[in-house]
């Protein structure tokens, strides 16, 4: 069984990063055509598929979703029309032919492709990948993917239903270090959540705590909060979670500890990628995931013109770490 999975995914590892896409993140932060699939889309797809899992619904005698079962690919016409997943249809349609060609279940392929994509980012983790998910799934119930405009209590409750603590949600949000928005404000399509979207680093955790002063597009939109730097986008949910007393200290703990950030993200992703599955029935194929390159620097900083005075201190009792301010103007690339 191991050799069957290993050979299939070893072959896929060589090609999954070459699937055409509109643009590529983790490619020196530049916009690109027909290059590698960006980690942004594939990492988001792993979450949107897996979080369709609700024990609370199951306790009511309803179908609670299959978790990381590939249903978003199997039933794309339905699930990519859920409000939180609008726009995911493109990446699903790009990926489906590869899963079919290599006879890999949709659930396996989504988690595999996401792990490979994250490994393309300098400083990123080498995620665990377990294979053997069934290719039989049902349509996920709607409204299980949190929205950026949701109240923080609603987000915590939804994630708690799926088995994640508020701090584990903070850990998962490390993915926003290499992510951008598309649909909250289509007018500034591809605006990243931090100033270093090509690097899996702690800048996201620093910059989300900076006082927001502007909207990068034409005014405010539902699900958006003010950002601190021109060209950078801030989700309202990220803004709230960074400042909530239940999560503020976990958030701040990553500012000067990228190693901890990567460790916690890796652990949380291992949990998320197996939601709805019996891990004892899966096969560890982590060897096929490439080893990420090291980041040029793993030390976070304040963007140009920003200092500790711009930080909205939220972790009570723990001083904010001492950081240097970047010399020269901070340029925020579109991804």
Q: Which residues are annotated as a binding site?
A: 49, 67, 69, 71, 176-177, 194, 196, 201
- Sign of the Cα torsion 248, 331, 38, 28 reads negative
One-character DSSP codes across 233-297: -EEHHHHHHHH-TTTHHHHHHTTT-HHHHHHHHHHHHHHHTTTTS-GGGSEE-GGGSPPPPPPS-
Which of 48, 136, 189, 221 is flagged as catalytic? 48
Neighbours of 126 (CB within 10 A): 16
- One-character DSSP codes across 3-54: HHHHHHHHHHHHHGGGS--S--SSSTT---SSSPPPHHHHHHHHHHHHT---
| Annotated binding-site residue numbers for heme b | 176
48 is catalytic: yes
DSSP β-bridge partners for residue 234? 225
Say if residues 193 and 235 touch (Cβ distance below 8 Å). Answer: yes
Residue 237 has a CB neighbour count (10 Å cut-off) of: 21
Q: Which of 116, 84, 146 is nearest to 108 (CA)?
A: 116
Q: Which residues fall within 8 angstroms of residue 308, CB to CB, at 6 or more apart?
A: 302, 320, 322, 323
Question: CA 291, 294, 296 angle in degrees (round to 5)?
Answer: 160
Specify whether the CB–CB gap between 117 and 38 falls below 8 A: yes
Give the residue ranges of the annotated binding site for Ca(2+): 49, 67, 69, 71, 177, 194, 196, 201
How far is the C-alpha of 74 from the C-alpha of 149, rounded, in Å? 28
Q: What gap in Å lies between CA 180 and CA 194, rounded to an integer?
A: 8
Residues catalogued as catalytic:
48
């Amino acid at each position: 069984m191991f050799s069957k999975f290993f050979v299939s995914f070893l072959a896929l590892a060589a090609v999954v990063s070459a699937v055409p896409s509109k643009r590529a993140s983790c490619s020196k932060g530049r916009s690109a055509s027909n290059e590698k699939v960006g980690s942004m889309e594939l990492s988001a797809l792993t979450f949107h598929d897996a979080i369709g899992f609700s024990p609370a619904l199951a306790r009511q005698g309803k179908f609670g979703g299959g978790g990381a079962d590939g249903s978003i690919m199997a039933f794309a016409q339905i699930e990519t029309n859920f409000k939180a997943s609008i726009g995911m249809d493109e990446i699903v349609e790009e990926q489906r032919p590869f899963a079919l060609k290599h006879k890999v279940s949709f659930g396996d392929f989504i988690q595999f492709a996401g792990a490979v994509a994250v490994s393309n980012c300098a400083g990123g983790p080498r995620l665990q990948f377990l294979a053997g998910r069934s290719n039989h799934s049902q349509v996920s119930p709607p409204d299980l993917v949190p929205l950026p405009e949701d109240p923080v209590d609603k987000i915590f409750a939804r994630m708690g239903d799926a088995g994640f603590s508020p701090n584990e949600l903070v850990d998962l949000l490390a993915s926003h270090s290499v992510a951008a928005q598309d649909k909250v404000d289509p007018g500034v399509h591809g605006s990243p959540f931090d100033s270093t979207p090509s690097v899996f680093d702690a800048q996201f955790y620093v910059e989300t705590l900076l006082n927001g002063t502007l909207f990068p597009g034409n005014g405010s939109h539902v699900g958006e909060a003010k950002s601190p730097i021109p060209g950078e986008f801030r989700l309202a949910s990220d803004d709230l979670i960074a400042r909530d007393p239940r999560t503020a200290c976990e958030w701040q703990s990553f500012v000067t500890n990228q190693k901890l950030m990567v460790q916690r993200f890796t652990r949380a992703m291992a949990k998320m990628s197996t939601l709805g599955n019996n891990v004892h029935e899966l096969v560890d194929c982590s060897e096929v995931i490439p080893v990420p390159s090291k980041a040029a620097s793993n030390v976070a900083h304040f963007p140009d013109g920003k200092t500790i005075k711009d930080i909205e201190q939220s972790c009570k009792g723990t001083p904010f770490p001492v950081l240097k301010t970047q010399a020269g103007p901070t340029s925020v690339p579109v991804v």
